[in-house]
Copies of this chain bind each other. A is one copy, B any other.
Amino acid sequence: MNSVYRNNEVSLTRGLQGDLRELTSSYPDDKIFLIYESNTWEHCHSYIQGFRKIPEDHILILNPGEEQKRIEQVIHVWDAFGSLGIDRHSLIINIGGGMLTDLGGFAASTLKRGLAFINIPTTLLAMVDASVGGKTGVNFRGLKNEVGVIRQPLHVLILLPFLRTLDPDNLLSGFAEMLKAGLIADGGLWDQLRGFDLSGYNEEQFGKLIWRSVEIKKAIVEADPEEQGIRKALNFGHTVGHALESEALRQEHPVPHGFAVAWGMITEAMLSHKQLGLPPESVYMIRDTIQSLYGHPPAQLTDPDRLLSWMKFDKKNTGDRINFTLLEKIGKCRVNCTVSEEEIREVMSDE
């Protein structure tokens, strides 16, 4: 047991190999299969290799990048592992960012009607967001996560030193989901994150904040695994954020997910003021904090007509009004706030 923090589903660990040995102890070496992206293979494999005597051909290395997150790659995984005799008593370990854990989780969840899998997220975003909650899947017809299932991994192992290999934008992208966790559920966490220096952080302190974010997400997901109600709390910042992301993709200048969410949180904080009376000083604090970290969204992304048409297209909306999760105050949110197009336009023109 080398974990610093641990619950039934997630560990923040100092000794990855020891934890991995413990978690996989009921699986023979030749029933274990690994999936890397080529960059996590390069940077992270040395932390993992040797934890067990895994046959070399049981390691699959996929090309990185969101555009690789597609069904053809899943078929490739089924095919490669199937031809090596993977069976119902096998285990798949996914090592990579959210693209890889989503894709590998989906491949495992659908092979022989569901194999066990362990996720080892290697980006901050995957650690605090993609690896918790059991969402798996791939993009399809240009739509994010159009195809997938919800299935919990056997375990998620978080190793902080992996973050050292990330560039600052990549760190910031994950940090936005931590800010969101604070805003929707824990004002104390928000305050700590606001004062946190990402460029020269202490790993132990950062680990504590990451763990708190994971706990918040986990508690919300467990209260609503099928996304019927309270899980929508996690959508704060994402209604506008997804629209920004989709528009950026359309213009072929993608922005990191967390940046889009961060900018979305500014607009949605202003909406929260109008709809739920979030105090102006909270709105300003949110805006200033986010702008000092993420700057402003590129001007060509902020056309209200285009953003609104993306929001109306979003799979989470029904009918004419747009569904938001908004803040009553910092640390407390309300789901299913439906807002008219006009009200959204008004806020956008105030920005």
Instruction: Mark A135-163 against chain B: 1 for CB-CB distance below 8 A, else 0.
Output: 10100110101111111000000000000
Min CB–CB distance A78 → chain B (angstroms): 6
- Count of identical protomers in the assembly: 2
How far apart sit A87 and B147, CA to CA, in the bound complex (Å)? 12
Count of chain A residues with a beta carbon within 8 Å of a chain B beta carbon: 30
Q: Are A145 and B79 in contact (CB under 8 A)?
A: no
A94 within 8 A of B: no
Q: Are B111 and A147 in contact (CB under 8 A)?
A: yes
A88 within 8 A of B: yes
Q: Which residues of B contact A140 (CB under 8 A)?
A: 78-79, 82
How far apart sit A147 and B316, CA to CA, in the bound complex (Å)? 28
How far apart sit A151 and B315, CA to CA, in the bound complex (Å)? 21
How far apart sit A110 and B109, CA to CA, in the bound complex (Å)? 10
Q: Which residues of B contact A109 (CB under 8 A)?
A: 149
From the candidates B82, B137, B151, name the one contacting A146 in the complex (CB within 8 A): B82
Q: Are A112 and B71 in contact (CB under 8 A)?
A: no
Q: Which residues of B contact A71 (CB under 8 A)?
A: 71, 75
12 contacts between A and B (CB under 8 A): A71-B71, A78-B140, A82-B143, A87-B315, A88-B315, A89-B318, A110-B147, A112-B148, A112-B315, A113-B145, A113-B150, A149-B149
